[in-house]
Amino acid sequence: MKITVCIKRVPETEARIRIAGDGTSIDPAGLKFIVSPYDEYALEAALRLKEAAGQGEVAAITLGESAAAEQLRAALAMGADRAVLLKGAVGMDGLATARGLAAELQGSGADLILFGMKAVDDDQQQVGPMVAELLGLPCVTAVAELELQDGRIVCHREIEGGFEVVEAPLPAVVTVTKGKHEPRYPSLKGIMAAKKKPLEEKEAQVGQERVRLLGLSYPPERPPGRIVGEGPDAVPELVRLLREEAKVL
Amino acid sequence: MKNVLAIAEQRDGALRRVSQEVVSAARDLADALGGEVHALVMGPPGTTGAAGELGRWGADRVRVVEHEAFTQYNPDGFAQAAVAAARDGDYFAVLVPATAAGKDLAPRLAARLDVPLATDATAIAIEGGELVVTRPVYAGKAFARVALEGAPRLVSLRPNVFRPQERPRAGTVERHDAGLRPEEWRVRVREVVAAAAERPDVTEAEVVVSGGRGLRGPENWGMLEALCEAIGPRCTLGASRAVVDAGWRPHAEQVGQTGKTVSPQLYIAVGISGAIQHLAGMRTASVIVAINKDPDAPIFKVADYGIVGDAFEVVPRLTDEIRKLRSGE
Ligand SMILES: Cc1cc2nc3c(=O)[nH]c(=O)nc-3n(C[C@H](O)[C@H](O)[C@H](O)COP(=O)(O)OP(=O)(O)OC[C@H]3O[C@@H](n4cnc5c(N)ncnc54)[C@H](O)[C@@H]3O)c2cc1C
Ligand SMILES: Nc1ncnc2c1ncn2[C@@H]1O[C@H](COP(=O)(O)O)[C@@H](O)[C@H]1O
C-alpha cells in the first residue's frame, strides 16, 4: 500500500496577516508557518491506513520554496517515511500547482493520493480534484472517514445536512476534512528519526500561472458595535433593535 | 463570448436557493456584457418540470440533463454534463455555486476545460471588459481581487452572499443527453445519510444560533434549540470548535476556519469567546449578536449588538421575547 500525502506550508491560523507595500503580497515578517491543518488530517488518515494494513509506505510531497522543507520534516516526524520537495513558486492558480504535483505523481505507483480539503492560506479548495483529473484518477472530496475494502476506498463525504457514503476503485485521490481523529503530535523519537529519513529536493514543473492577482485588501471594517446592556433586562431592547434597526427579526 | 452559463442545483426535484443566487449573478454579468444567461440543471428524470422556474431569475435558456443516477450529486457524471454544456456555448464565464457539490465539480471542470478557477467569490464585476473576482483569503483576514486568463472564466460563488433578484426572461427549457458515458463513472454514491434535522444546513440558514464552551455541556443545548424554534424554520444551530472537539455537537455544525463559513442575515453567538479561527467562519454575517458573561471577550469586537450576561438567564428571556413578537405578528 503506497500512500502519498500532498501538504502545503501556510501561515499559522492565529497569525495576523499584514499586506505588504506592493499591495499584492503578504508581509512575511514575524509569520510562523505550519502544515495546513487539513493536510495534517490527511496525513493522520494515511498513517492510520498504513498501520491498519500493517505495511506500506507514506510519502509527503510539497511544492514551494526551500523553507517548506520544514513542513516536510514535520510530516516525517509525525510518521511519514519519505518526503519530496518540489521547488517552485506557488501563486493563486490552483491548476498551475496541480500540474506541478501531477508531474511528480504521474507513474509514481501510489495507490492512494491524499490532499487536505483546502489549504488555509488562499482557501481555494481546488488542487486535489484538479490533480485527480490531470492523472485520470477517481476522486472523492471532503472526506471525514475512510477505509479500504477489497481494493476500493469507502468514504464518508460531508454534504449539506448529512453525509454520503461514497466508494471508488484504487488508485484514487481523496481530499480530507476534519474527522474523528486528531492529528498525532510527533514524539521525540519521531523527531529524531525524521532527521534520518529521505527528503529529496527537485525543481518543480509548475504550469503557467493564469490567475492575475490585482490586489489584496483588508476586509471592510464592521461598523463599531455596541453593548446593549447587561443581563436579561437588556433583552427587550435587543429585540427592538433587531426588529426596527437591523430588520432581521 | 458574451453569454454566461450558470450551473444550478436541485435537490429532490426542487431547485435550491443557491440556484437563484447564481442565475441572478449571471444576469448581472450578462447585462454588463450584452449577452444571455444560460442555466444548466442536472438531476433525475422529472427535473425538467422545476427547471423553467429559473427564467424568473433571469435565465434566457435552461439546459436540463437528466439521468437516473442524478438523484444525488454524481461527480463523474456531473462533470461530463457540465463540460459538454460549457464547450457548447463559447461562454464568457461559467458560474458554479460553492456548495458541497459545486466545490467538488468546479475544479474538475477547470482541469477538463484547461482554465483557471477562482473559488468562493463574494463579489464579481465587469471592469474594463474584464471579469474581476473578489474572494476572501486567509480565512477572511484579507480579500484578493483576481482576473482569470482563459475562457470561459470559471468562478464559484459563496452561498448566501449574492442576493436573488427577480428579472423574468423566457427561461426556455431544452433537454440534452450531453453524451453521458456512465461506463466511465468510477465514483459511486452508495447512500445519502441525512442528519435527523429538518432545519437548514448551517451554510444555508438565514439565522444561525451558535453555542460555545460557555454552555458547559451538551445537555444545555435544549435552550438554544428553543431559541431556534422561536425564531422559526429559517434558523439553524451552529457551534464553536471547542464544543465539537468535546463531542457535544457534530462537526457539521462547526463554524470557523476548520468548519463551515457562513454568511447568514443574523448570527447569534452564545458563550463563544470569538477566537480568530471562529471569526473566520462568521465575520461576513450581516448582523452579529453576542451573548457572553465576559465584557472583554473578543466576540464583542465584531458584534453589532452585545449583551454582557449569563447565557442561562439571557437566552430563555430572548426566546420568550421573540415568541411574544411572533405571536403578535
Ligand atoms: C488550526 C486551528 C483551527 C481552528 N478552527 C476553529 C474553527 O473552525 N472554529 C472554532 O470555533 N474554533 C476553531 N479553533 C479553536 C479556537 O482557537 C478556539 O479555541 C475556540 O473557538 C474556542 O471555542 P469557545 O469560544 O466555545 O470556547 P472558549 O474560548 O472557552 O470561550 C467560552 C466563552 O464562553 C463565555 N462564558 C462562559 N460561561 C458563560 C455563561 N454562563 N454565559 C455566557 N458566556 C459564558 C466565556 O466568557 C468565554 O468567552 C481552531 C484552532 C486552531 C489552532
Ligand atoms: N503547493 C502545494 N504543495 C503541496 N500540496 C498542495 C499545495 N497546494 C495545495 N496543496 C494540496 O491541495 C490541497 C488543497 O489546496 P487548495 O486547493 O489550495 O485549497 C491542500 O490541502 C494540499 O493537500
CA distance B25 to chain A (A): 20
CA of residue B241 to ligand 1 center, whole Å: 7
Report the C-alpha gap between B174 and B64 in whole angstroms.
6
- For A6-57, what is each residue's pLDDT tens digit? 999 999 999 999 999 999 999 999 999 999 999 999 999 999 999 999 999 9
Strand partners, A3: A58, A112
Dig out the grid coordinates for A248 from the structure.
Answer: 432581521
Torsional sign, CA A201, A34, A106, B110: negative
- Write the secondary structure of A73-124 as one string of H (helix), E (strand) and C (coil): HHHHHHCCCEEEEEECCCCCCHHHHHHHHHHHHCCCCCCEEEEECCCCCCCC
Q: Is the CB of A126 under 6 A from ligand 2?
A: yes
CA distance B116 to chain A (A): 6
**For A31, phi and psi rounded to 5 degrees?**
-80, 140
Q: Which residues of B touch A13 (CB under 8 A)?
A: 139, 257, 276-277, 280
Strand partners, A66: none
Q: Is the CB of A119 under 6 A from ligand 2?
A: yes
**Residue B199: what pLDDT?**
86
Instruction: Considering only the beta carbons, identify the residue of B76, B104, B325 that sits closest to A239.
Output: B325
Ligand nearest to the backbone CA of B118: 2
Reported ipTM: the value is: 0.95
- Continuous segment of H or E residues that includes residue B77: helix B75-88
**Residue A221: what pLDDT?**
84
- For A39-50, what is each residue's pLDDT tens digit? 999 999 999 999
Distances, alpha carbon A17 to alpha carbons A162, A222, B278, in Å: 34, 17, 16
Q: Which residues of B touch A138 (CB under 8 A)?
A: 76, 186-187
Say which DSSP state B196 is in.
Answer: S
Cβ B203–A234 below 8 Å, yes or no?
Answer: no
Instruction: Considering only the beta carbons, identify the residue of B110, B203, B207 that sits closest to A95.
Output: B110
Report yes or no: B38 and B84 within 8 Å, Cβ to Cβ. Answer: no
Instruction: Considering only the beta carbons, identify the residue of B110, B280, B300 that sits closest to A126.
Output: B110
pLDDT per residue of chain B (329 residues) written in tens, 0 to 9: 899 999 999 988 899 999 999 999 999 999 999 999 999 999 999 999 999 999 999 999 999 999 999 999 999 999 999 999 999 999 999 999 999 999 999 999 999 999 999 999 999 999 999 999 999 999 999 999 999 999 999 999 999 999 999 999 999 999 998 889 999 999 999 999 887 667 889 998 999 999 999 999 999 999 999 999 999 999 999 999 999 999 999 988 999 999 999 999 999 999 999 999 999 999 989 999 999 999 999 999 999 999 999 999 999 999 999 999 988 86
Report the C-alpha gap between B41 and B65 in whole angstroms.
6
Name the CA dihedral angle for B62, B68, B72, B74, rounded to a multiple of 10 degrees.
-80
* DSSP three-state, residue A13: coil
In the sheet that holds B93-97, the strands lie side by side as B117-121, B153-157, B93-97, B4-7, B37-43, B61-66, B172-176
Cβ B309–A95 below 8 Å, yes or no?
Answer: no
Q: What is the mean pLDDT of chain A?
A: 96
CA of residue A230 to ligand 2 center, whole Å: 46
Torsional sign, CA A149, A152, A155, A159: negative
**Residue B197: what pLDDT?**
63
Q: Quote the Cα angle for B251-B253-B254, to 5°.
A: 70
Report the C-alpha gap between A129 and B107 in whole angstroms.
6
Closest CA to B97 of B30, B49, B25, B12: B25
Distances, alpha carbon B301 to alpha carbons A226, B53, B275, B276, in Å: 9, 42, 11, 11
A24, A27, A126, A226, best to mutate vs chain B, most B CBs in 10 Å: A126
Q: Whose CA is nearest to atom 1 of ligand 2?
A: A63
> Which amino acid would we find at residue A73?
R
How many CB atoms are closer than 10 A to CB A127? 27
Residues 6+ apart with CB under 8 A from A205: A88, A99, A100, A103
Report the C-alpha gap between B108 and B185 in whole angstroms.
13
Dig out the grid coordinates for B236 from the structure.
Answer: 439553524
Q: Is the CB of B294 under 6 A from ligand 1?
A: yes
Q: Beta strand pairing status for B142-148 and A211-217?
A: antiparallel
Q: Name the closest residue on chain A to residue B137, using Cα atoms.
A: A122
**Residue A207: what pLDDT?**
80
DSSP E strands in chain B: the ranges are: 4-7, 10-11, 14-15, 37-43, 61-66, 93-97, 117-121, 123-127, 130-137, 142-148, 153-157, 172-176, 188-194, 207-211, 235-239, 266-270, 287-292, 305-308
Categorize the per-residue pLDDT at A136 as very low, low, confident or very high, splitting at 50, 70 and 90: very high
- For A93-132, what is each residue's pLDDT tens digit? 999 999 999 999 999 999 999 999 999 999 999 999 999 9
Cβ A232–B317 below 8 Å, yes or no?
Answer: yes
CA of residue A42 to ligand 2 center, whole Å: 11
CA B124 to chain centre: 16
Report yes or no: A96 and A124 within 8 Å, Cβ to Cβ. Answer: no
* pLDDT value at A160 more than 90: no
Cα atoms in the Cβ-side hemisphere of radius 13 Å centred on A31: 20
Report the C-alpha gap between B71 and B63 in whole angstroms.
17
Cβ A161–B307 below 8 Å, yes or no?
Answer: no
Dig out the grid coordinates for A82 from the structure.
Answer: 519519505
